[in-house]
């Protein structure tokens, strides 16, 4: 196992105020819906990730990696649960993402049923690197979630922190069961390009449809602000170019980009989430520190 960090399962609940689903982010309606649109991909995507790793669970020999795989599956299952609740809030608010989610699920079901297992794992490795890059932005740059509802902010930070924590697991499984040679390198590299093209093509189509459903699709100033966040100076995508290109380096590993300091926020984040349960007159949420 290359990654030195063993993921921790944290069974947290965020008690999202559903009436804030359209304006929870201080960046405005367009930026709120940018992040909401990302959320619609997570439940189907994370179920796919879990299954692609489970395909090889019995083939993993390294004992520490076996533990990491189990923790990875637990983390992704909790992410799925919380984003299903998040996405239900969008549907209840009249944002028609149910059909969009169904299309994503159909695409991933097709891959699961027809693609070779190594390709399924390569897709997971590719998308895990993409989510790890985005997670780093969420954790490092408060501009993108500043002045936001604390429940939504905590959910995004929790998800981002755990994506960071387990970012090396699928890659380690890939290297152990598929290999490190030229064929394995070619498969992961080509898959990474294809996964990015498909994902962002779907994303921007759905992003526009989400904005159209809110009658915000003709709001040019909103689009301009969102695109400044995405492509302007210090925007999301210019900041990611180096990390994106690093994936093509022979011998690359996700922990070559060492941002483990972000995990230091775990305890404070869990304290914040505990207050949500207290405010709801419930027993404070407790992280499940087991990594079985």
Confidence of residue 143 (pLDDT cuts 50, 70, 90): confident
In a domain, 289, yes or no: no
pLDDT, residue 256, reads 95
Q: In whole numbers, what is the pLDDT of the chain averaged over residues?
A: 93
Query: Model's pTM, two decimal places?
Result: 0.92
In a domain, 1, yes or no: no
Confidence of residue 280 (pLDDT cuts 50, 70, 90): confident
Highest mean pLDDT among 140-154, 184-198, 229-243: 184-198
Structure tokens at 69: 């795989």
Q: Worst-scoring range by mean pLDDT, 33-37, 143-147, 157-161, 287-291? A: 287-291
Percent of all residues in the chain with a pLDDT value above 90, rounded to a whole number: 89
pLDDT, residue 292, reads 39
In a domain, 104, yes or no: yes
In a domain, 70, yes or no: yes
In a domain, 12, yes or no: no
Residue 289 above 50 pLDDT?
no
Taking the CA atoms of the chain, what radius of gyration do you get in angstroms?
Answer: 19
Calculate the alpha carbon distances from 287 to 65, 74, 150, 236 in Å.
Answer: 21, 12, 19, 30
Query: Tens of pLDDT along 68-125?
Result: 999 999 999 999 999 999 999 999 999 999 999 999 999 999 999 999 999 999 999 9
Mean pLDDT within 233-253: 94
In a domain, 214, yes or no: yes
In a domain, 285, yes or no: no
CATH code, domain carrying 199: 1.10.620
Mean pLDDT within 135-142: 91
pLDDT, residue 4, reads 63
Mean pLDDT within 273-290: 68
Mean pLDDT within 256-269: 93
**Alpha-carbon gap, residue 226 to 209, rounded angstroms:** 15
pLDDT, residue 291, reads 40
Residue 142 above 90 pLDDT?
no
Percent of all residues in the chain with a pLDDT value above 70, rounded to a whole number: 95
Cβ atoms of 29 and 212 closer than 8 Å: no
> For residue 153, what are the domain limits?
23-270
In a domain, 17, yes or no: no
Q: HEC profile for the chain?
A: CCCCCCCCCCCCCCCCCHHHCCCCCCCCHHHHHHHHHHHHHHHHHHHHHHHHHHCCHHHCCCHHHHHHHHHHHHHHHHHHHHHHHHHHHHHHCCCCHHHHHHHHHHHHHHHHHHCCHHHHHHHHHHHHHHHHHHHHHHHHCHHHCCCCCHHHHHHHHHHHHHHHHCCCHHHHHHHHHCCCCHHHHHHHHHHHHHHHHHHHHHHHHHHHHHHHHCCCCCCHHHHHHHHHHHHCCCCHHHHHHHHHHHCCCCCCCHHHCCCHHHHHHHHHHHHHHHHHHHHCCCCCCCCCCCCC
CA 290, 167, 157, 47 torsion-angle sign = negative
Report the domain count for the chain: 1
**Alpha-carbon gap, residue 273 to 267, rounded angstroms:** 10
């Amino acid at each position: 196992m290359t990654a030195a960090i063993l993921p921790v399962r944290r069974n947290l609940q965020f008690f999202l105020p559903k009436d804030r689903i359209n304006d929870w982010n201080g960046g405005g309606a367009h930026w709120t819906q940018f992040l909401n649109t990302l959320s619609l991909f997570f439940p189907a995507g994370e179920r796919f990730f879990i299954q692609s790793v489970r395909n090889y669970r019995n083939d993993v020999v390294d004992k520490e990696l076996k533990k990491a795989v189990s923790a990875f599956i637990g983390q992704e299952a909790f992410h799925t649960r919380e984003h299903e609740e998040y996405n239900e809030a969008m549907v209840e608010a009249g944002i028609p993402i149910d059909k969009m989610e169904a299309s994503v699920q159909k695409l991933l079901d097709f891959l699961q049923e027809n693609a070779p297992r190594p390709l399924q794992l390569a897709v997971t490795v590719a998308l895990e690197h993409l989510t790890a890059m985005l997670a780093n932005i969420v954790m490092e740059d408060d501009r993108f979630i500043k002045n936001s509802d604390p429940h939504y902010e905590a959910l995004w930070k929790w998800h981002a922190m755990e994506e960071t924590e387990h970012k090396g697991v699928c890659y380690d499984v890939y290297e152990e069961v598929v290999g490190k040679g030229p064929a394995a390198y070619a498969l992961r590299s080509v898959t990474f390009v294809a996964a990015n093209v498909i994902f962002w093509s779907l994303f921007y189509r759905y992003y526009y449809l989400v904005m159209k459903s809110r009658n915000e699709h003709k709001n040019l100033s909103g689009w301009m602000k969102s695109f400044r966040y995405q492509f302007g100076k210090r925007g999301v995508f210019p900041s990611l170019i180096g990390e994106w290109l690093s994936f093509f380096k022979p011998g690359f590993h996700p922990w070559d980009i060492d941002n483990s300091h972000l995990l230091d926020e775990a305890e404070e984040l869990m304290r914040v989430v505990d207050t949500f349960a207290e405010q709801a007159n419930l027993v404070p949420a407790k992280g499940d520190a087991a990594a079985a």
